């Protein structure tokens, strides 16, 4: 008997019929002798609906009090789906009980709308499991030291599931979603993208941070820190699929770097379209100039990605960095109002909101030379100019014009042999199963 955490996304919980299928699937695992904890998201679209209602009422500038109430409001979406799933399980003859995050409790800091988990008390969960019940815990939410409801930000249910799995020392955390695993790249861009049978946590963390939408990056960080085995699989397979087959399906995110994984120089290609490049031109090439520019940006709670400082010419240099396009207006305001006045005459701002970032990721890059040059040569053959480059031990990222992103991804996918490798499994269509 194993202790398993199931996490179901909003699409998987999107209708009462889908909730009923989730209940049947969970009950199947329990009948096989496993203890199961379920962490569901709100029903698809529900969080957006609730926040849209608030947007009709709230002031233009959100106060701390308003953010508190937004968390109290948004948390009700998961509360509803958890209660509905408990009802569906009981209708299947399976004892079940639902808990909100604060009933467990899941303790967080007080950063409303983006709280971070500080601790989870697993005692109450274990008591209910010992009584033969399925325990359902609302994802995405917790309670701070003052007793206020908090939420973890978009995608926070993944993080909740992994954190709960760590707290109760679960044998595995299964992330059920609307895709059947982690692919070499987005199948909507490359139709013959392949599903990976396994991927390392290190690779998954890079892919999540570079634009892959399968798992929320904080959940991968949590899994790596507490060594929680993760598997990504589809909730749209028939609920009565053979349990052994289901347990082996999807993509296993593992700590092991086996021989097959070493043979894959590049395991996946990630990309983001919502990037913007900021260039501060003609700045003094002196110690501390990077902090002078990026310090105020960090103080505004804006994340910076790729950074380049050009060679000095006559004591002046150009400093460029990328940010999320959603932060573009705020960055420009900070640079114009706070940074440029400190840099003296001649410094100016240049920007470009029509860029994208494309990244190749693979454990095999540690032990293979020439990977970056293959990437650059492939893009060159397609006439794609590289504006910025960023590297780590297992990834290389380039910033290019947004209009070339799909061409770049397709070309690189082919260049690195990802159209069909021996260590991956070609997914079958639903009508072939």
177 is in an annotated binding site: yes
Domains in the chain: how many in total?
A: 2
Question: Which of these ranges, 1-5, 189-193, 312-316, 354-358, has the smallest mean pLDDT?
Answer: 312-316
The answer to whether residue 384 is domain-embedded is yes
Query: Percent of the chain scored above 90 by pLDDT?
Result: 76
Which pLDDT score, from 0 to 100, does residue 425 have? Answer: 35
On whether both 70 and 146 belong to a single domain, the answer is: yes
Q: Which residues in 388-405 are b (16+ Cβ under 10 Å) and which e?
A: bebeeebbbbbbbebebb
The domain spanning residue 139 has which CATH number? 3.40.1160.10
* More reliable by pLDDT, 59 or 176: 176
Residue with tokens 């082996």: 248
The residue count for the chain: 433
Residue with tokens 């021996």: 422
78 is in an annotated binding site: yes
8 is in an annotated binding site: yes
On whether both 264 and 408 belong to a single domain, the answer is: yes
On whether both 281 and 410 belong to a single domain, the answer is: yes
- List, for residues 35-62, the tens digit of each pLDDT value: 999 999 999 999 999 999 998 887 666 6
The answer to whether residue 288 is domain-embedded is yes
On whether both 28 and 154 belong to a single domain, the answer is: yes
- When pLDDT is cut at 50, 70 and 90, the band that residue 345 belongs to is confident
The domain spanning residue 404 has which CATH number? 3.30.2130.10
Pairing of β 268-284 and β 316-324 = antiparallel
The answer to whether residue 429 is domain-embedded is no
CA atoms within 13 A on the CB side of 136: 27
Last residue of a domain, one of 257, 291, 313: 257
- List, for residues 59-113, the tens digit of each pLDDT value: 666 667 788 999 999 999 999 999 999 999 999 999 999 999 999 999 999 999 9
28/130 Cα distance (integer angstroms) = 18
On whether both 218 and 274 belong to a single domain, the answer is: no
Whether 214 contacts 177, CB under 8 Å: yes
The answer to whether residue 131 is domain-embedded is yes
Whether 206 contacts 220, CB under 8 Å: no
9 is in an annotated binding site: yes
Which pLDDT score, from 0 to 100, does residue 428 have? Answer: 37
8/115 Cα distance (integer angstroms) = 21
154 has pLDDT over 80: no
Q: What are phi and psi of 352, to 5 degrees?
A: -150, 115
On whether both 236 and 352 belong to a single domain, the answer is: no
On whether both 318 and 376 belong to a single domain, the answer is: yes
**How much is the mean pLDDT over the chain?**
90
On whether both 150 and 287 belong to a single domain, the answer is: no
381 is in an annotated binding site: no
Which pLDDT score, from 0 to 100, does residue 106 have? Answer: 97
432 has pLDDT over 50: no
Which pLDDT score, from 0 to 100, does residue 60 have? Answer: 61
**Parent domain of 253:** 3-179+214-257
Question: Which of these ranges, 104-113, 231-240, 305-314, 357-366, has the smallest mean pLDDT?
Answer: 305-314
47 is in an annotated binding site: yes
Which pLDDT score, from 0 to 100, does residue 210 have? Answer: 86
CA atoms within 13 A on the CB side of 33: 3
On whether both 291 and 225 belong to a single domain, the answer is: no
The answer to whether residue 234 is domain-embedded is yes
312/289 Cα distance (integer angstroms) = 12
On whether both 87 and 155 belong to a single domain, the answer is: yes
Pairing of β 316-324 and β 304-309 = antiparallel
Model's pTM, two decimal places?
0.83
On whether both 245 and 113 belong to a single domain, the answer is: yes
- When pLDDT is cut at 50, 70 and 90, the band that residue 368 belongs to is confident
The answer to whether residue 379 is domain-embedded is yes
CA atoms within 13 A on the CB side of 216: 21
The answer to whether residue 202 is domain-embedded is no
- When pLDDT is cut at 50, 70 and 90, the band that residue 257 belongs to is low
Last residue of a domain, one of 223, 257, 291: 257
On whether both 332 and 275 belong to a single domain, the answer is: yes
374 is in an annotated binding site: no
213 is in an annotated binding site: yes
3-state SS, the chain, equals: CCEEEEEECCCCCCCHHHHHHHHHHHHHHHHCCCEEEEEECCCCCHHHHHHHHHHCCCCCCCCHHHHHHHHHHHHHHHHHHHHHHHHHHHHCCCCEEEECHHHCCEEECCCCCCCCEEEECCHHHHHHHHCCCEEEECCCEEECCCCCEEECCCCHHHHHHHHHHHHCCCCEEEEEECCCCCECCCCCCCCCCCEECEEEHHHHHHHHHCCCCCCCHHHHHHHHHHCCCEEEEECCCCCCCCHHHHHCCCEEEECCCCHHHHHCCCCEEEEEEEEEEEEEEEEECCCCHHHHHHHHHHHCCCCEEEEEECCCECCEEEEEEEEEHHHHHHHHHHHHHHHHHHHCCCCEEEEEEEEEEEEEECHHHHCCCCHHHHHHHHHHHCCCCCCEEEEECCEEEEEEEHHHHHHHHHHHHHHCCCCCCCCEECCCCHHHC
267/364 Cα distance (integer angstroms) = 8
The answer to whether residue 105 is domain-embedded is yes
Pairing of β 106-108 and β 117-120 = antiparallel
Last residue of a domain, one of 204, 232, 257: 257
């Amino acid at each position: 008997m194993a202790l398993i955490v199931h996490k179901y996304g909003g699409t998987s919980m999107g209708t009462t019929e889908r909730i009923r299928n989730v209940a049947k699937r969970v009950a199947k695992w329990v009948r096989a002798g496993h203890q199961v904890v379920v962490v569901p998201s709100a029903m698809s679209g529900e969080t957006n609906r609730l926040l849209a209602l608030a947007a009709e009422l709230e002031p233009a500038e959100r106060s701390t009090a308003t953010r508190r109430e937004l968390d109290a409001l948004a948390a009700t979406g998961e509360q509803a789906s958890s209660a509905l799933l408990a009802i569906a399980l009981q209708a299947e003859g399976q004892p079940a009980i639902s808990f909100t995050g604060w009933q467990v409790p899941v303790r967080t800091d007080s950063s409303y709308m983006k709280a971070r988990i500080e601790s989870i008390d697993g005692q109450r969960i274990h008591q209910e499991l010992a009584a033969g019940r399925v325990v359902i815990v609302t994802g995405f939410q917790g309670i701070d030291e003052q007793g206020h409801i908090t939420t973890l930000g978009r995608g926070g249910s993944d993080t909740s599931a992994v954190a709960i799995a760590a707290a109760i020392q679960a044998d595995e955390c299964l992330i059920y979603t609307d895709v059947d695993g982690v692919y070499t790249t987005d199948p909507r861009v490359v139709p013959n993208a392949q599903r990976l049978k396994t991927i390392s946590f290190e690779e998954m963390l890079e892919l999540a941070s570079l634009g892959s939408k399968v798992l929320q990056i904080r959940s991968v960080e949590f899994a790596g820190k507490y060594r929680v085995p993760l598997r990504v699989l589809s909730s749209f397979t028939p609920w009565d699929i053979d349990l052994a087959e289901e347990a082996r399906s999807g993509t296993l995110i593992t700590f092991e770097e086996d021989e097959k994984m070493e043979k894959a120089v590049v395991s996946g290609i990630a990309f983001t379209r919502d990037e913007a490049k900021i260039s501060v031109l003609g700045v003094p090439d002196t110690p501390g100039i990077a902090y002078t520019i990026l310090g105020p940006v960090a103080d505004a709670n804006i994340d910076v990605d790729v950074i380049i400082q050009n060679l000095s010419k006559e004591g002046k240099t150009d400093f460029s960095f990328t940010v999320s396009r959603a932060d573009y207006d705020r960055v420009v305001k900070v640079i114009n109002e706070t940074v440029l006045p400190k840099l003296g005459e001649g410094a100016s701002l240049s920007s470009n909101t029509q860029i994208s970032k494309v990244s190749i990721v693979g454990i095999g890059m540690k032990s293979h030379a020439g990977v970056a040059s293959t990437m650059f040569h492939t893009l060159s053959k397609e006439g794609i100019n590289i504006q910025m480059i960023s590297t780590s031990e297992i990834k290389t990222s380039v910033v290019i014009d947004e209009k070339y992103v799909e061409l770049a991804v397709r070309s690189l996918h082919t260049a690195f042999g990802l159209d069909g490798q021996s260590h991956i499994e070609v997914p079958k269509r639903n009508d072939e199963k």
